[in-house]
Amino acid sequence: MTKNLHLRPLEKSDLEFMHNMRVKSDVMDYWFEEPYTTLEKMNTMYENSQDNDSHRQFILYQNDERIGYVGLFDIETRHRNAEFGIMIAPEHQGKGYAADATRLTVEYGFNKVNLRKLYLYVDEVNEKAVHIYKKLGFQVDGTLREHYFVNGEYHDAYVMSLLRKDYTFGQ
């Protein structure tokens, strides 16, 4: 595990860092979203989300440096599942942070939120992400054919999930 890698709740002071990632197409294409937002809009979304218990949003950092963002979204308390998402800042990609950040978030979801299942959507051409998810125990549940429009063409996406009973803690 990458040393000194931590999660802390997203704060208003992190929004400029988030905005810098959200306006980059090489980041947002993997979120299947346009790289289009304003800092003002992000401030509004942040303020509106403060009473929403169905999301857990974190800044990933090492020592005092922000590395990325992870989250658990649409947390279902009855069914005990949530969607997982991750965004690593471009200057920190390729350094092994994604696997460790995923592991930290999975363990938070299972151990702190008492989730039973995490799921995600990933572009099938994002081979590095698919490899990381499989390495941590996520399985492909199915393929959404030509589901997302990215860079002028439709892409297939995998739906992947991880059950708590299948996860090996501390791997």
Residues with a known catalytic role? 133
Q: Pick the closest to residue 37 from 107, 109, 27, 147 (CA basis).
A: 27
Q: Which residue has the tokens 């800042």?
A: 89
Q: Which amino acid is at 160?
A: M
CB count within 10 Å of CB 123 equals 19
CA contacts within 13 A on the Cβ side of 112: 8
